[in-house]
Structure 1
Amino acid sequence: MDAFRSVLEDCDLDDLGYTGPWFTWEKGRTHVNNIHERLDRGVANTEWWDLFPEFQLKHLSHSFSDHCPLLLNTKSGHSMNKKTWHFRFEASWLLEESCEEEVNNLWLTFRGGFLERLHFTCNGLDAWFKKIRKEKRITKKDLTEKLERLNNLIPTDDILGDILDTKVALNFELDRDELYWEQRVRSNWLQHGDKNSAYFHRFASQRRQKNCIKGLQDSEGEIVSNEEEMHSIAREYFSSLFSSINSIQFDQILEKVNGCITEDTNQFLLSNWTEEVFSSVKSMNPLKAAREDGLGALFYQRFWHILGKEVAQFCIAIL
């Protein structure tokens, strides 16, 4: 198996996942000796993932063999490109000199409630970056072509200066692109600066495929693929999960428990929170999944000196 895994790694091949029953091989006709395993699977390299982003591999029912057939449909009909746009704070925006100033101005301009203030800041940042992108209109391709032209010229002081400036600008764009993909991969072990774009692209594509929810099981056990019905199932599930059911009185139970908290410890536990909020925010992985407003831990960590007071007050009020 070690040699087999090495072959997959050397050939840049990754598991395509599946739909249908989790197993592909079955043996034994009674409950005591029945065995299920997933022995058969599809693999592909990065170029194939890019060619067929909407594929689906399905485990089919089988009767003649103890292995089930695998059906690979390169056009599953579940398009991952048809998704609703929503705001996301991009880590690469921090490379812009005006980013911090823009956040500060937006945060101080609006005087409403905390959540409304965050929403206003998000909309402002989105408009700010669209303006920045429109003004620059410089891409990696433009800079690469310019660098190639300069390298073909007879070197002079001016040309060498242009080459240096172009390299700096190109590295800046590469850093921005690296951060963009790293934020989508959310990798813990690969650090920013490793310059492994192939890794980023492959794993971002895999995450995108695996995160595409193609169906949910309702309370009756039926698989539902309609998007509105899936939203309803998800809402009902989490509403039920976080609701109290048949709550009981714990006073009689707690009367039998010996107290072990000293008065000093109790006073400490009852005291107001202060720096604990920032400690919690600081301990979060900066590029992990953002909440529904598109603001991840990185945003609060980087701009805590601007909005930290209001964030802490909001969290403490909830607690």
Structure 2
Amino acid sequence: MTPRAINGRKRLFRFQSCWLLDPSFPNVVSQAWRDSLVDAIGNFTIEASAWNKGKFGNIFAKKKNLLARINGIQRAVALKPSNFLLNLENDLLKELDSVLNQEEEFWALKSRVNWMIQGDRNTAFYHVSTLVRRKRNQILAIKDNVGEWINEEDSVKEFIRKGFIGIYSTSLANASRINPTLSHSQPRLSDVERDIISGVASEEEIRNAMWSLKPFKAPGPDELHAGFFQKFWPVVGGIGDRGSEEDFCGEGNA
């Protein structure tokens, strides 16, 4: 899972759920989570990227390499049986099984589907689902107000931009407005209700909100899914020791 360049730019950080299957990944999280939440996320992004490149590696390259080695061993064993080669084959098969699980997790996260066929590996299914979703999300053409198709990319962008401008603007520039202070029927919050709303969220409220989210749907602005915080809550949820509730409710929330 190494970053690739997109139009000459380095790919942005993306959390991968297949990292959770690697036994060394919890150490990366523990070492990064030593400061306040915002700083910890920054540290984790750097350390996880380095760990991904230096240790975890590209799962597709590992899969290809393992299959080639297993194929070579099986050919050698067919010609001349060897206990050493048989033991090595078993070890490589276990490693391949782990890589296949990681590959399945990778495509499951990218496809963003919530169901799977029990008992079968779904790598091909997830791969196709990802490609279909990516194709469906593209806008290649759009009809204008008179029903004519717009195919040029720049023209499509301009049409959509003008459409949003029209939605969020009004021609009633001189429309009168009622002074809200003159309305006696307008509902108001009591002082107690205002204090509850404006108060800082407790750790229990944050935890309940976190567990109400689906683990690996769309990530937050920090590119970390709710499932990451759910998995490592004993490490990342110790707000009292490394930060405050404001961290989870402010810029660093998931």
3-state DSSP of counterpart to 1:253: coil
Equivalent positions of 1:29-108 (< 5 A) are 82=7, 85-108=11-34
Q: Residues 122 and 95 (structure 1 numbering): CA distance in 2 closer, same or farther, change over 3 Å?
A: same
Taking a change above 3 Å as real, the CA distance of residues 173 and 101 of structure 1, as seen in their structure-2 partners, is: same
Say whether the 8 Å CA contact 1:216–1:225 is kept in structure 2.
no
**Where does 1:109-188 land on structure 2 (aligned, <5 Å)?**
111=35, 114-133=37-56, 139-152=62-75, 153=77, 154-188=80-114
Which sections of structure 2, spanning at least 5 residues, go unmatched? Answer: 1-5, 170-176
- CA apart distance, 1:177: 0.8
- CA deviation after TM superposition for structure 1 residue 151, in Å: 2.4
CA contact (8 A) 1:88 1:294 kept: yes
Could you tell me the TM-score, scaled by structure 1's length?
A: 0.55
Alpha carbons 2:73, 2:89 under 8 Å: kept: yes
Q: Give distance in 2, aligned partners of 1:131 and 1:194.
A: 31
For 1:136 and 1:198, how far apart are their aligned partners in 2? 15
CA distance in 2, matches of 1:311, 1:90: 27
What is the one-letter code of the residue matched to 2:68?
Answer: E
The alpha-carbon distance between structure 1 residues 247 and 88, as it changes in their structure 2 partners (threshold 3 A), is: farther
- In 1, the alpha carbon distance for the partners of 2:72 and 2:107 equals 29
Report if the CA contact (8 A) 1:278-1:312 is conserved. no
Match status 1:314 vs 2:242: no
Q: Is the 8 A contact 2:59 2:99 kept in 1?
A: no
Instruction: Find the aligned partners of 2:117 and 2:232 in 1 and give their Cα distance.
Output: 22
Structure 1 vs Structure 2: percent identity of aligned residues?
A: 23
Q: Which structure dedicates a bigger proportion of its chain to helix?
A: 2
1:264-283 superposed Cα distances (whole Å, 9 cap, x missing partner): x97xx678533122122122
Closer, same or farther in 2 for the Cα pair 1:278/1:214, shift >3 Å?
farther
Separation (CA, whole Å) in 2 of partners of 1:209 and 1:176: 24
3-state DSSP of counterpart to 2:185: helix
CA distance in 2, matches of 1:311, 1:213: 43
Paired AA for residue 305 in structure 1 = P
State the 1:95 CA deviation. 1.8
Q: What are the residue-to-residue correspondences of 1:9-20 with 2, within 5 Å?
A: none
Shift of the alpha carbon at 1:98? 1.8
- Alignment RMSD: 4.5
For 1:162 and 1:247, how far apart are their aligned partners in 2? 81
Contact kept in structure 2, 1:277 and 1:315, CA below 8 Å: yes
Structure-2 change in CA distance of 1:252 and 1:155 (3 Å): farther
Choose which of 199, 206, 211 in structure 2 pairs with 1:282: 211
What code does the residue aligned with 2:185 have? I
Matched residue type, 1:211: N
Change (3 A) 1:210 1:304: same
Pair 1:196 & 2:155 matched: no
Residue in structure 1 matching 2:231, options 299, 302, 313? 302
Cα distance change of structure 1 residues 90 and 159 upon mapping to structure 2, 3 Å threshold: same
* Greater relative CO, 1 or 2 (CA 8 Å, sep 6+): 2
Q: TM-score, normalised by structure 2?
A: 0.67
**Per the alignment, do residues 199 and 165 of structure 1 end up closer, same or farther by CA in structure 2, a change over 3 Å counting?**
same
Residues 1:225 and 2:153 aligned together: yes
**Alignment partner of 1:209 out of 118, 129, 135:** 135
Between the aligned partners of 1:122 and 1:285, the Cα distance in structure 2 is 22
Distance 1:314 1:134, change over 3 A: closer
Shift of residue 129, structure 1, vs aligned partner: 0.9
- How far apart, in 1, do the equivalents of 2:211 and 2:47 lie? 25
Amino acid at match of 2:247: F
Report the alpha carbon displacement of residue 123 of structure 1 after superposing the two structures with TM: 2.3
Distance 1:82 1:126 in 2: 20
